[in-house]
Structure 1
Amino acid sequence: MKKDIILKAENISKQYRLGQVGTGTLSHDLNRWWHHVRGKENPYLKVGDTNDRSTKGTSDYVWALQDINFEVERGEVLGIIGKNGAGKSTLLKILSKVTAPTSGSIKSRGRIASLLEVGTGFNPELTGKENIYLNGAILGMTKKEIASKIDEIIEFSGCERYIDTPVKRYSSGMTVRLAFAVAAFLEPEILVIDEVLAVGDAEFQKKAIGKMQDISNQGGRTILFVSHDLSAISTLTKKTIVLSNGKIVAFEETNKSIAIYSSLHSLSNYYEQECVLNKPTVTKVKIETSEGATLQGSNKPFTIDFEITMPEKGVENMALSFQILNHLQVPILYDYIFDIHTEICRSKGVNKLSFTYPKLALYKGNYSVMVHLAETKTKTKFQEFNCCSFEVEMIGMKEPEWGWQKGVCQYLDEGSWEL
Structure 2
Amino acid sequence: MIILKAENISKQYRLGLVGTGTISHDLNRWWAGVRGKEDPFLKIGSVNDRSTKADSDYVWALRDINFEVKRGEVLGIIGKNGAGKSTLLKILSRVTGPTTGEIKTKGRIASLLEVGTGFHPELTGRENIYLNGAILGMSKAEIKAKEEEIVQFSGCERYIDTPVKRYSSGMRVRLAFAVAAFLEPDILVIDEVLAVGDAEFQKKAVGKMQDISKGEGRTVLFVSHNMAAVKSLCTRAIVLENGKTVFEGGTDESVDYYIAKNSDKIIKMNYSSLDENSLFQEISIKNNIVSSGKTLRIDFKIHPKINEDKINIHIGVYDFNDEKVLHISSEYFNDGYIDSKNKNPICEIYKNPLIQGFYYINVGIVVDNTVAEELKKCLIFEVMNGDFFNTGIILKPSTLKAKALAHYKWC
Identify whether the pair has TM-score above 0.5, normalized to the shorter chain: yes
Contact 2:287 / 2:296 at 8 angstroms: preserved in 1?
A: no
- Partner secondary structure for residue 183 of structure 1: helix
Q: How far off is 1:189 after superposition?
A: 0.7
Greater mean deviation of Cα atoms: 39-48 or 99-108: 39-48
Aligned to 1:251: 248
User: Is 1:393 aligned to residue 390 of structure 2?
Assistant: no
Q: Which amino acid aligns with 2:22?
A: T
Residue aligning to 1:365: 357
Change (3 A) 1:108 1:394: closer
Kindly provide the amino acid, as one letter, of the partner of residue 66 in structure 1.
R
Aligned to 1:190, which of 187, 192, 199? Answer: 187
Segments of 5+ residues of structure 2 without an aligned counterpart are: 269-281, 302-313, 329-344, 364-375
Q: Deviations over 1:3-44 (max 9, x none)?
A: x11100000011112222222333322222221221111111
Aligned to 2:128: 131
1:45 aligned counterpart, secondary structure: helix
Separation in 1, partners of 2:59, 2:113: 22
The one-letter code of the counterpart of 2:74 is V
1:31-88 CA-to-partner distances (Å, cap 9, x unmatched) read 2222122111111111122111122142222111110000111111111111111111
Equivalences for residues 12-411 of structure 1 within 5 A:
12-265=9-262, 266-268=264-266, 290=285, 299-301=296-298, 325-332=318-325, 363=354, 364-367=356-359, 390-394=380-384, 398-400=387-389, 401=393, 402-403=395-396, 406-410=399-403
TM-aligned CA distance change 1:366 to 1:357, over 3 Å: farther
Q: Deviations over 1:141-172 (max 9, x none)?
A: 01111001101111111111110001111111
On the 8 A contact 2:286/2:299 being kept in 1, the answer is no
**Preserved CA contact (<8 Å) 2:286 2:298:** no
Q: Deviations over 1:238-262 (max 9, x none)?
A: 1111111111111111111111111
Q: Secondary structure at the match of 2:173?
A: helix
Please tell me the residue identity of whatever aligns with 1:40: K
- TM normalised by structure 1 equals 0.74
Distance 1:331 1:116 in 2: 28
Indicate if the aligned counterparts of 1:128 and 1:166 stay in contact, CA closer than 8 A.
Answer: yes
Greater CA radius of gyration, 1 or 2? Answer: 2
Q: Which amino acid aligns with 1:195?
A: E
Change over 3 Å in CA distance of 1:86–1:331 after alignment to 2: farther
TM-score norm. by structure 2 comes to 0.75
Q: Deviations over 1:308-362 (max 9, x none)?
A: xxxxxxxxxxxxx997642323244689xxxxxxxxxxxxxxxxxxxx9856878
State the SS of the aligned residue for 1:13. strand
Instruction: State the distance in 2 between where 1:323 and 1:85 align.
Output: 30
Structure 2 counterpart SS, 1:409: coil
Query: CA offset at residue 234 of structure 1?
Result: 1.0
Residue 387 of structure 1 deviates from its aligned partner by 7.7
Please name the residue that 2:366 is paired with.
none
| Count, aligned residues | 350
Answer whether contact 2:115 2:173 (CA < 8 A) is retained. yes
User: Residues 296 and 302 of structure 1 are in contact (CA less than 8 Å); yes or no, is this contact kept in structure 2?
Assistant: no
CA distance in 1, matches of 2:39, 2:120: 37
Which digits, 9 at most, give the CA deviation of each residue in 1:267-288, with x for residues without a partner?
3479xxxxxxxxxxxxxxxx97
Q: SS state of the match for residue 247, structure 2?
A: strand
The amino acid of 2:32's aligned partner reads H
Q: Which runs of 4+ in 1 moved over 6 A?
A: 295-298, 386-389
